[in-house]
Amino acid sequence: MRFITQKNILATALLSIMAGFSIANADDDNVRPAPASIGSVVPLTYFGPAPSSVDPRLIGPHQLLTAGQVNLNRLTVKLPLYKGLSTDGKTYWYILTDSNDQANAEALGLNFSGKLTYADTGRGVRNAVQLKDGTVQFLTENSGVDFSPKRRLTPGAAPNFFPPTLFKPGSVGEENYSPLMRIQNNGGYIYNAPIISQATEAQLNVYCDGKTKTDKTIVHDKVRSICPAEGTVELDLTLGFTFSRPLLYLSLEASHELPATMEEATYAPALQDIGVGRDDSAFSPVERLFAVTNGPIGKTNPQRQGFNSALAGDGYALNVLGGIPTVATDYSPLWDVNAAEWTQDAIAKGYRSRVLGEFELLGLVLQGWLTGPGGAKFGSTGFIVNCPPVMRLL
């Protein structure tokens, strides 16, 4: 497999983002960073490289999940595809996005998350062993995924599109399915290893031509293309924000049917065994994701955001994620969903707008302009979503 180098990734990102080339769907969401030359007396070519090309902690585009190739025009990432086996001979296809071992994460181009160590409660992590040929064999029973259901989502009546009146996820994990996997005979490290298909190699290789549309009844709904013969899978990305920086991330599993359906993700009931509400306290396995339920709507509205806007057909919900690698030290791909609702008083006063960062949102909660859904106390919904970050756009 040949993947684009980190240097070329940064160059491509700079050209695509700062030179004004289109990024699919980003223009509609007003998320794409504007060229630095606006208002200047010199063209963009006179500007130096983004500071992130020198230090990834600084401002500018930076790819986090370097195991794959990001396509900014398609808003996808192409990742290595791995084959696994169950004890009864079933074939599983999965990807790797995170590890709780920093050396392995760096070597494989994954995100490092020490917090994954604390997800090993109840059904939170499925067990596996590595076989002699390198194939992983899954040991945990009833931990597969059924991709055959058809995703069904019916928005509520306008103007209150959220909550939806009907929601059924397009893929459903068995009772013990979690995207997290522990390799028992090789250090006991934990990996974020979402299953994206259980079809045969012959069934999937028909899509290697890049033209045949994937059958969503045998693959994850986020799969754009897949080819076991080449060992690759291309997955759709989601736009959001982290500390006022636009972000591309994968949204792959959820612990409840509602977020799973809205995110085109797999319903993974075993994630319910992982504790929420403790954010960055000792032994917490999660980081927080902030979702606005009733933000401004309108496809061309530069302030649009939230579930109501997404269900209206405007585009991404534009969720706000907490700490990610290079921005904070408390990253976990397991996000504790904190839903926020603008109060009627805030709406009447014209305060409702797009929120870009965690502490901006928490400040609005402190001031009383945002609450939990229905005026409830703001905090965890109890839902977990598995959303590994792939690339910062700034």
The whole-number average pLDDT for the span 180-186 is 95
pTM of the model: 0.92
Window from 28-37, 132-141, 343-352 with minimum mean pLDDT:
28-37
Inform me whether the pLDDT recorded for 27 exceeds 80: no
How far apart are alpha carbons 13 and 6 in whole angstroms?
10
Question: What is the model's pLDDT at position 29?
Answer: 57
Q: Report pLDDT digits (tens) over 246-257.
A: 999 999 999 999
How far apart are alpha carbons 369 and 360 in whole angstroms?
12
The whole-number average pLDDT for the span 193-212 is 94
How far apart are alpha carbons 181 and 102 in whole angstroms?
16
Mean pLDDT over all residues of the chain?
A: 91
Question: What is the model's pLDDT at position 255?
Answer: 98
Question: What is the model's pLDDT at position 47?
Answer: 85
Q: Where are the domains of the chain?
A: 6-77, 80-392
Query: How far from the centroid of its chain's Cα atoms is residue 150's Cα?
Result: 21
If one compares 109 and 209, the residue with the highest pLDDT of the two is: 109
- 174: CB partners within 8 A, 6+ apart: 142, 143, 144, 145, 146
The whole-number average pLDDT for the span 217-238 is 97
Inform me whether the pLDDT recorded for 376 exceeds 50: yes
The whole-number average pLDDT for the span 318-344 is 97
How far apart are alpha carbons 284 and 154 in whole angstroms?
35
Question: What is the model's pLDDT at position 280?
Answer: 86
Inform me whether the pLDDT recorded for 1 exceeds 90: no
Question: What is the model's pLDDT at position 349?
Answer: 98
Question: What is the model's pLDDT at position 2?
Answer: 36
Inform me whether the pLDDT recorded for 5 exceeds 80: no
pLDDT confidence bin for 245, thresholds 50/70/90: very high
Question: What is the model's pLDDT at position 48?
Answer: 86
Question: What is the model's pLDDT at position 70?
Answer: 96
Torsion of CA 291, 150, 247, 67, to 10 degrees: 140
How far apart are alpha carbons 394 and 17 in whole angstroms?
9
Nearest CA among 382, 352, 219, 196 for reference residue 289: 382
Nearest CA among 382, 361, 364 for reference residue 318: 361
Inform me whether the pLDDT recorded for 378 exceeds 80: yes
How far apart are alpha carbons 305 and 298 in whole angstroms?
9
Q: Report pLDDT digits (tens) over 125-145.
A: 999 999 999 899 999 999 999
How far apart are alpha carbons 196 and 221 in whole angstroms?
9
